[in-house]
Structure 1
Amino acid sequence: MGKNNQNNEQYRPKKISVFDLPRPSFPKRAVVTGGMPYGNKKLHFGHVGGVFVQADCFARFLRDRIGEENVIFVSGTDCYGSPIVESYRKLCETGEFDGSIEDFVRINHESQKEVLGKYDISLNLFAASGLGESKDVHAAVSSALMQQWYENGHLEKMVTSQFYDAKAGQFLNGRQVIGKCPVDKCQSDKAYADECSLGHQYMPADLIDPKSTLTGETPEMRDVVNWYIDITKFNELMNEYVDSLPEKGNSRPLVYNTIKEFMLPPMIYIKKDFIDEYTAIKSQMPEHILNLEDNKTSFSIEFINLNDRDKAKELLNDNNIRFRAGKTLVPFRLTGNIEWGVPAPVLDGEDGLTIWVWPESLWAPISFTKTYLKQQGKPEDEWEKYWKSTDSEVFQFIGQDNIYFYGIAEMAMFIALQGKENLTAFPSDGQYTLPTLVANNHILFLNKKASSSGDIKPPMAEDLLEYYTAEQLRAHFLGLGLSLKSVSFQPKPLNPSAGEKDADPVEREGKMLSNVFNRVARSCFYTIQKYGEPIMPMGQVSEEVLHDAKETILKYEHAMYKFEFHTVMNLMDTYIRNANKFWAKNIKDAEADPEKRNQVLIDTLHMVKTAMVLMHPVAPKGTELLCEYLGFGKDIWNWEHVFDTLTDLAKANGETEHRLKFLEPRFDFFPMKAR
């Protein structure tokens, strides 16, 4: 080896083996939540493929990893709020629906629940914030939380302006006003009263070019009283919280980078065309910092607090200087006057208010956890073991547009429940835990963003099952890599640009199951049956096979800890294909020799068992069917046995001979959808 090569070798980074890494730790108990679909619609592919499949995969993994009795997976229909009211109003107006708003929501809730079942989403409870037992629990939880914030001194009564349509003679709820988002550089296609379709928050008076959806008129502003939590007061704690996220090792950059965007000081952006007008009134403005860069078409002015920014905005408006506000923390509204909502408790004499849908949907998983545990006959305070314990962790699966609500508003609200003072971003036992957020990028449809209210309509989740099995779709959605970037869903049957000979990208992961895994698993059964009774050969697994299985398990565990589902799918694709290659390479020469044949079967069956356990969260029906034919019970999923061989498991059950279930010819554990 030459001198230069020696130097290169010296400075080449040493490859770290997964065997050298500490294994990730998981909580003793966990709550997993999936995003709540609105009660005015059926589920489209984005609900299932963008959130629920990932949440279900992780919930199933946790059940195997820490025990199913320690995991609660909840979600439900978001029953309240202006989107439901507006959809209901339009359908009644056109004669397409005849019934109460509760009837309308119930129909959609039952449809959502049915479709989630068809996708094998294993919710402990799919509840509804405005229906049945969960409605009563949710109302009680909502009232108690409002009371607690009030007693802790964190509620503020604010007089703000609300849109009023004089022609219609009524106040307008959030979705009855449409305009342009006032947040700088926002690309939203729709902005409503105080939030845009991308989740940006602003005060109603800042909405650009507002129009009433009832009459098309420009609404006027009238004063109303509502309760707010001023989350700007938690700025320092929120910075501590967000700075700690990268250290956890399982927080996605999408989450903490998006939160940081809102942690900026209050800013105003002004086109350079107005620089002279700004200079003329600069001295009248509150103290601020001017940021003027040569390569930008706008300049910014930065303020110490929101009040100063708001005074500057008034001055700019008075002088006809156009501007846009930057992302920053603003007071978070908790109440409104929409009739279809959770009743707010009477505080400080303010009666007749309801709780705004966004905040109450953030704590709805607490209500659903309490409802589920109540249905199981558990003690009244059992829910606290899941939501107020350092032994527990809450994992919330959401879309990227909702990071503001879950990553900022929810965290600030939970911190505010700690008391009046000595608040912390790192709760101790007895305080509300700050959930771990798992946010996905957008799942596109044919390379475009689709939404029920947009121009590009998404395919319905149920309709996709006409072309694919649930397990094909589950495997594909998990393999998309939504943790890394926005990815397009391109089902060939719905793609007008797809050629007849083009492969269907949705089938790739499914074929790994139906073709490769299916082939190697049933080859073992058929070979055993070919030479006698379906008795599993027992013996020692080869060291190389044990090593590869253990390495795959450890890599898989790290990927699951980081919610890297695409890594899981790539890892399992390699492992299953290698198992198939191992079988094809060794069985032909060994088949004539019973001893060699048994060794190949013992080794291959260990690969099948390993792949089956690791694929259980991905393809539950197929793997559970395979487990049934292998003749083992639910204990096989328990990670206490994840490194054990089938011989180990049989002997632990006191078996000296283990019988398999007879496998019929041409049997499919993972069938493809017939076309």
Structure 2
Amino acid sequence: MGKFNRYLITAALPYANGPVHIGHLAGCYLPADIYVRYLRAKKADVKFVCGTDEHGVPITIKAMKENITPQDVVDKYHRIIGDSFAAMGISFDIFARTSDPVHHETASEFFLKMNNDGLFEEKESEQYYDPEKKVFLADRYIVGTCPNCGNDKAYGDQCERCGRTLSPDELINPHSALSDAVPVKKLTKHWYMPLQNYEPWLREWLLEGHKEWKNNVYGQCKSWIDNGLQSRAMTRDSNWGIKVPLPDADGKVLYVWFDAPIGYISATKELTPEWADYWCKEDTKLVHFIGKDNIVFHCIIFPAMLKAHGGYVFPENVPANEFLNIEGEKVSTSRNWAVWVHEYIKDFPDQQDVLRYVLCSTAPETKDNDFTWKDFQDRNNNELVSIFGNFINRTMVLMHKLCGGKVPPLHQDTTDEADRQLLSEFAAAKEKVENSIENYRFREALGEVIELSRKGNQYLQKSEPWIYSRTIEKLNAGEEVAGYTQADIPALQAKIENCLHVCLQLTANLSILVNPFLPFTARKICHMLKVVDRMLDWENAGSDKLLSVGYSLRAPELLFKKVEDEQVTAQIEKLHAGLKKSAAENAPAPAEAATPAAPPKPEIQYDDFAKLDLRVGTIIQAEKVEKADKLLKLQVDIGTEKRTVVSGIAMHFTPEEIVGKQVTLVANLAPRKMRGIESQGMILMAEHNGKLIFVNPAEATPPGSAIS
């Protein structure tokens, strides 16, 4: 197992504000489970930890929607999520909770250590405040009308109807979700971690030391670091969460993305008294399995926290997957466009491995991928049933029919090239599967297992033991068979026994190789072969002597059953019914009379427009221009360079809230001096109801991308 003596595998902590859907499974939980099951089969010292993330604004928003307490929310969904994972065979060693006392203690101690070492900056900034409830408001506590689609239930950070990222300033008629009061800005103090201080270390450890990480992970991290890291608040104003353990911090809690990854540490503490061996010894391999939306937290912020605290190992890899779409559309929990795991288990009882197979076969390992119910049906019927299941079923049926239900001998002196070739495939397949798993290419690894079963089918079909059996029957009955005599019966019987011996040894190998992916199926095969689970140890894979000659085996059982058209139709109808119900519940109120549009400008020719060089940019710095109330000085990254732009938006935005926003820049506008500063471009803005709105791409786009 290389230089590592123990393994600590984590899967992202799911928010306890709703059930888990198949996108969650495909993103990180199934890949993590496959990897862990493989390590266990290799008898590695491995711990697999996870748990629910029970703090943060999404929890309190859910509580408000359901008119229950945040504790009620997390209790409810911790159970639903945990039951769903268990039913799908996700084999955590512990599924903890960030509301557990040991987590509160661990996170508080972690914060205090950093604070006592002087690693935080204390800063005051203006934050939104509810003057009636007398509490500060996170962006999600501010509700208003989306300027893009008119949804009057949009949040201050995102409209869940159209998906647009927002800021509270962009909302039309913003109000507090707690009281309906119009929020105001008020000074508040928070503790910030100066991430920029860790840039040199992150460049050395991550950018130089982990070039083997997946391209999507490495590229996103490099972009963040190259654009320059900023101080980030590690506390929030809230009554729900881990209270900041300082005397002058009333009403403040730890930022959820500070406390959540510490949940991996506290979960390990709950699991074993030897937790420090897994977190503090250099011969531990720490691997985080996550979705791509969590890359920055696991690859930059949490490692920087571990470095600042000291004494902990750093992740050896963070194999993040992309997103899984459903029927061609992005998963949306707010629109109920999702396949919920707990509902799948009800609709397809005892078919967990079918979903595991399909999600692994279509896993979004390098790019977003699409789940469709038709593909689910095709992969089950054409691959699991017709290839993998068919080979094992035919082998077991023929063994009972032609060999009396016992493992026949292999007659070494009569084996042919086909026998020897297939036997040699066992070890070769093991090596391929092993190499793919260890490099986090799980789709490829599963494909090798299916390919091996396909070769078994081809071998069985070409060997035709049933033909030899009929020939023996005819010869024993005194019938004449062209090319054969009674003297050929022993040789014909040897061919039958050789073929089925090889097929049974292959069946045993397939159970081992498929076990990390389809554990329920592997155990069904072991039951038919009358072997204990110990045979599934990885060291046994590749062997052609797993089943003893003369050993009686159980009757065959079908491993998979076909998915019918009616089931597919029902699931698609269910998806659309959920979408319609959600749309009805979240329909916007009748729109107010729109502000009159600006009068049209004189007509221009295409050539006039073609002269514009419009580029996507990212604001990386912002500051007020002295003695100019309306001006902000911006640094805008446009990929090939960084531009200084002076923009008259200071009455609408604070510098802090626009850093990181993507904008559209007129890149070939002649430079112009404003207040002594040379402005090298113009940012495009839109105006609606007296509010300015950034004109930006609908999705995150690399800086410098041309707009045409």
User: Mean Cα displacement is larger for which, 396-405 or 171-180?
Assistant: 171-180
Corresponding residue number in structure 2 for 1:79? 54
Do residues 477 (structure 1) and 359 (structure 2) align? Answer: yes
Against the structure 1 CA distance between its residues 28 and 103, is the aligned structure 2 distance closer, same or farther, given a 3 Å change threshold? same
TM-score, normalization: structure 1?
A: 0.72
Structure 1 residue 673, shift from structure 2 partner: 5.2
Distance 2:454 2:35 in 1: 24
Alignment of 1:662-673 (within 5 A): 662-664=554-556, 667-672=557-562
| 1:430-465, Cα deviation, whole Å (9 max, x unpaired) | 533335211111111222212223x46223222233
CA contact (8 A) 2:190 2:235 kept: yes
Distance 2:345 2:499 in 1: 38
Against the structure 1 CA distance between its residues 168 and 147, is the aligned structure 2 distance closer, same or farther, given a 3 Å change threshold? closer
Corresponding residue number in structure 2 for 1:460? 340
User: Mean Cα displacement is larger for which, 430-439 or 52-61?
Assistant: 430-439
Match of 1:124 among 76, 82, 93: 93
Corresponding residue number in structure 2 for 1:385? 277
CA contact (8 A) 2:156 2:168 kept: no
Structure 1 residue 116, shift from structure 2 partner: 1.4
Corresponding residue number in structure 2 for 1:659? 551
Structure 1 residue 173, shift from structure 2 partner: 2.5
Structure 1 residue 605, shift from structure 2 partner: 2.2
Alignment of 1:305-316 (within 5 A): none
**3-state SS of 1:535 partner:** coil
**3-state SS of 2:42 partner:** helix
Structure 1 residue 466, shift from structure 2 partner: 4.9
Structure 1 residue 191, shift from structure 2 partner: 7.4
Distance 1:198 1:264 in 2: 31
Against the structure 1 CA distance between its residues 257 and 361, is the aligned structure 2 distance closer, same or farther, given a 3 Å change threshold? same
Do residues 222 (structure 1) and 186 (structure 2) align? Answer: yes
Corresponding residue number in structure 2 for 1:577? 454
Match of 1:519 among 387, 390, 403: 390
CA contact (8 A) 2:303 2:314 kept: no
Do residues 156 (structure 1) and 121 (structure 2) align? Answer: yes
CA contact (8 A) 2:512 2:522 kept: yes
Match of 1:535 among 406, 410, 413: 406
Do residues 234 (structure 1) and 189 (structure 2) align? Answer: no
Query: Which structure has the bigger radius of gyration?
Result: 2
Against the structure 1 CA distance between its residues 525 and 457, is the aligned structure 2 distance closer, same or farther, given a 3 Å change threshold? closer
Distance 1:194 1:245 in 2: 36
CA contact (8 A) 1:230 1:331 kept: yes
Do residues 140 (structure 1) and 125 (structure 2) align? Answer: no
CA contact (8 A) 1:163 1:220 kept: yes
User: Mean Cα displacement is larger for which, 251-260 or 72-81?
Assistant: 72-81
CA contact (8 A) 2:145 2:171 kept: yes
Structure 1 residue 105, shift from structure 2 partner: 1.4
**3-state SS of 1:367 partner:** helix
CA contact (8 A) 2:388 2:454 kept: yes
User: Mean Cα displacement is larger for which, 150-159 or 172-181?
Assistant: 172-181
Alignment of 1:319-468 (within 5 A): 328-346=228-246, 349-373=248-272, 380=273, 382-418=274-310, 431-453=312-334, 455=335, 457-468=337-348
Q: CA RMSD in A?
A: 3.2
Distance 1:198 1:479 in 2: 30
CA contact (8 A) 1:75 1:127 kept: yes
**3-state SS of 1:485 partner:** coil
Corresponding residue number in structure 1 for 2:25? 48
Match of 1:633 among 532, 541, 548: 532
Distance 1:61 1:339 in 2: 42
Distance 2:32 2:499 in 1: 37
**3-state SS of 1:623 partner:** helix
Distance 2:194 2:464 in 1: 69
Match of 2:506 among 607, 610, 614: 607
Distance 2:120 2:165 in 1: 18
CA contact (8 A) 1:480 1:487 kept: yes
**3-state SS of 1:436 partner:** coil
Alignment of 1:482-561 (within 5 A): 482-492=364-374, 504-509=375-380, 511-539=382-410, 542-561=419-438
Structure 1 residue 332, shift from structure 2 partner: 2.4
Against the structure 1 CA distance between its residues 431 and 358, is the aligned structure 2 distance closer, same or farther, given a 3 Å change threshold? closer
Corresponding residue number in structure 2 for 1:91? 66
Against the structure 1 CA distance between its residues 456 and 43, is the aligned structure 2 distance closer, same or farther, given a 3 Å change threshold? closer
Distance 2:145 2:468 in 1: 72
TM-score, normalization: structure 2?
A: 0.69
Structure 1 residue 229, shift from structure 2 partner: 1.4
Do residues 258 (structure 1) and 258 (structure 2) align? Answer: no
Aligned amino acid, residue 670 of structure 1: F
- Give unpaired runs (5+ residues) of structure 1: 1-23, 182-188, 266-327, 374-379, 419-429, 493-503
- Give unpaired runs (5+ residues) of structure 2: 147-152, 473-491, 568-708
Distance 1:216 1:127 in 2: 36
Structure 1 residue 50, shift from structure 2 partner: 2.5
| 1:337-379, Cα deviation, whole Å (9 max, x unpaired) | 21110122226x4455321211111111111111122xxxxxx
Aligned amino acid, residue 48 of structure 2: F
| 1:175-212, Cα deviation, whole Å (9 max, x unpaired) | 2136999xxxxxxx98756999999999x899888934
User: Mean Cα displacement is larger for which, 441-450 or 632-641?
Assistant: 632-641
CA contact (8 A) 1:473 1:510 kept: no
CA contact (8 A) 2:107 2:259 kept: yes
**3-state SS of 1:451 partner:** coil
Structure 1 residue 90, shift from structure 2 partner: 2.4
CA contact (8 A) 2:422 2:456 kept: no
Distance 1:516 1:366 in 2: 43
CA contact (8 A) 2:193 2:234 kept: yes
Corresponding residue number in structure 2 for 1:596? 495
Corresponding residue pairs, total: 528
**3-state SS of 1:366 partner:** helix
Distance 1:207 1:483 in 2: 35
CA contact (8 A) 1:199 1:402 kept: no
CA contact (8 A) 1:414 1:434 kept: no
Distance 2:390 2:158 in 1: 55
Do residues 211 (structure 1) and 174 (structure 2) align? Answer: yes
